[in-house]
Structure 1
Amino acid sequence: MKKFIGMALATSLMLGTSVSAKAEETLALVISTLNNPFFVTLKEGAEKKAAEKGYKLLVLDSQNDPAKELANVEDVLNKKISLMMINPTDSDAVRSAIKAANRKNVPVVTLDRGANGGKVASHIASDNVQGGEMAGKLIVDMLKGKGKVVELQGVPGTSAARDRGEGFNKAVAMASGIEVVASQAADFDRTKGLNVMENILQAQPEINAVFAHNDEMALGAIKAIEAAKRDILVVGFDGTDDAVSAVNEGTLLATVAQQAAKIGSMGVDVAEQILKGEKVADYTPVALKVIKK
């Protein structure tokens, strides 16, 4: 009996040592903004997975400011972190932050938005080109290949805005009867989506549909359209809770749904593989789907 207790105690101590050693591993998540439900969900997905795996996770909000982002990265690099996950504010501007991590030999994983420079161990995101194309095809089908459409763009310089726009324009270009009458940036922001859409509505007497690069802008656009008492189809992108509710209510035609929590969760999974010295894919796609009533 004493021998059994001794063995159990030894096993317990070994397990305790293993868990506490892993708990000392700290990951950082530098996120573009937490003033957006999509990125809040992404953060929560990463936090849940990190807790399950026994990692400490530092989360810093860049508030959509590349200068703040660089300061955040410099801050976490001065701490003892094993790996940095980053959701860039801008795919070009983030190069300096990634190069700073490279100099410290801290592996980098990008989430949702890619980086146009620096060494990145892996990128995890939805196929934004495909998603934009899905939105464009839906609009073309709903308008039966004829009509005037508006594109509300995300933050200029982000890979998400570039890729979603590329897919959307590819789809609508296939229909000779579709004309894009306005294409303006509203920075992935609901209030800016409202304001930009108000201006477009004043300038364009005929609009049949709107594609917004994210749900926040789509929901802002809907408010402007309702105030103008016009009947215009709106398609968003991300699949946030507010957007799904709007689809169910019939005010939003559809949203191309990303799995934000899964992107965050997979970020931690890939981080663990990297820390174990395992080979990881340069790019891991996360599936998309169209949610409509």
Structure 2
Amino acid sequence: MTERNKDKELVSEYNGIKLTRRGLLSAGAAATVAAALARPSISWGQSNEINSSVKVPNTEMRFAASLGWTVWESGRHIVNGYRDAVEKLGGELTIADANYDVKKQADQILAFVESRPTAIFITPADAAAISPAVQKAVASGVPVFIGDSYVPGTTVTSTAMSNNFGLGSYPAQYIVDKLGGKGKVALVSLPSNESWDQRTLGAKSVFTRYPDIEIVSETAFALGGSTTPRQVVDQILTANPELDAIWCAWDGAASEGTLAIRASGRDVMITGIDGGRQSFEYIAAGSPFKITMAQSFYEMAYMNAFYAFEVANGRDAPRFVITPSYAVTQESLAGMEQMPDTYDQPGEAAKLGWQRVL
């Protein structure tokens, strides 16, 4: 997106809370990881180079990570999850950032296969598009671990991700309940990734149960295009003067949409999916942004690395792990002096009094 490099730029203020742009872009297994691993103290600022390596004494294990993106809070948490796990358990980790470039990510995966690492970690920006490269990686015999999305047409060693259908249905039900089962709703979807598209299907599965809920608009947002989420929401508001709510497939649209709603002076609620400090600031400020589904990006990555070590040591890994998601509202954040940044590390959400909903 054209706004990617403006994440730190102050663009508005709401009830004394500074709001900034953000772009993009989720029990038993969690308990296993939480019990087995203690997170080391590594901050993003200490290791923020991509295409670099983290090395510790056990260099017999070499891991390679091809990440579809590393920007925004989700990307930062994913990178930290992989790095912290390898730092704790031992080995060498090489990270490559594809920055939403499908061809680049496919090339990265094939290059990693040639280097014969202990395991390959992948977070896809477009899972279907990189499926042929992932199939070749699986066929090579190198264990492959996927985070955040499943890759169609492949049988990888293990996948850790959120319940995307549920991520979409939960805020849709929230909208229905707040509207009393009657109102006009718009959708901003993210169909470029098959897993992310499941969120829209989840939302529609809820809205279609209520005959007095009318979906008046659906916009499929294209990553990397010239149109920003703010412009999309501006257009939706202009075309629908009686709109009650906007459901968004990710927090980037909800965050920028909040600014559009505020500028319009309209009483329209908006919902998001992802979680993170900036989204929490919008919600805590009492803005039109009412709820986000906070995913456990850090834990997705940590799960991948943890089970890669298990497999390397001759043990089994689960084929599929659904990592925790939390419904975060203004009530969830009440009384917090600082917005939580470590909620997606095993055990941290419980300290906040949060319970997983998916």
> For 2:328 and 2:223, how far apart are their aligned partners in 1?
19
2:98 is matched with which residue? 62
Runs of 4+ in 1 over 6 A off after TM superposition: 188-191
The secondary structure found in structure 2 opposite 1:235 is: strand
> For 1:263 and 1:162, how far apart are their aligned partners in 2?
19
Deviations 1:90-146 (A, max 9, x none): 121111220221242211111111101233111101111112111111111111111
Q: How many residues align?
A: 274
Q: How does 1:1-293 map to 2 (within 5 A)?
A: 22-154=58-190, 156-187=191-222, 192-251=228-287, 252-293=289-330
The secondary structure found in structure 2 opposite 1:23 is: coil
How far the C-alpha of 1:280 sits from its partner, in A, is 1.8
Code of the aligned partner of 1:176 = P
Deviations 1:264-289 (A, max 9, x none): 11111111122223222211011211
TM-aligned CA distance change 1:139 to 1:106, over 3 Å: same
The secondary structure found in structure 2 opposite 1:256 is: strand
Name the one with the larger helix percent.
1
Q: Contact between 1:188 and 1:214, CA under 8 Å: does it hold in 2?
A: no
TM value normalised by structure 1: 0.88
Structure with greater Cα Rg:
1
The secondary structure found in structure 1 opposite 2:58 is: helix
The percentage of counterpart residues that share the same residue type is 24
The secondary structure found in structure 1 opposite 2:196 is: helix
- Structure 1 unaligned regions, length at least 5: 1-18
Deviations 1:161-206 (A, max 9, x none): 2211111111111222111111112246897211211222222222
How far the C-alpha of 1:230 sits from its partner, in A, is 1.6
- Structure 2 unaligned regions, length at least 5: 1-54, 331-358
Higher mean C-alpha displacement, 191-200 vs 202-211 = 191-200
TM value normalised by structure 2: 0.72
Q: Contact between 2:57 and 2:90, CA under 8 Å: does it hold in 1?
A: no
> For 1:157 and 1:254, how far apart are their aligned partners in 2?
23
How far the C-alpha of 1:159 sits from its partner, in A, is 2.7
1:12 is matched with which residue? none
> For 1:45 and 1:209, how far apart are their aligned partners in 2?
34
Q: Contact between 1:45 and 1:263, CA under 8 Å: does it hold in 2?
A: yes
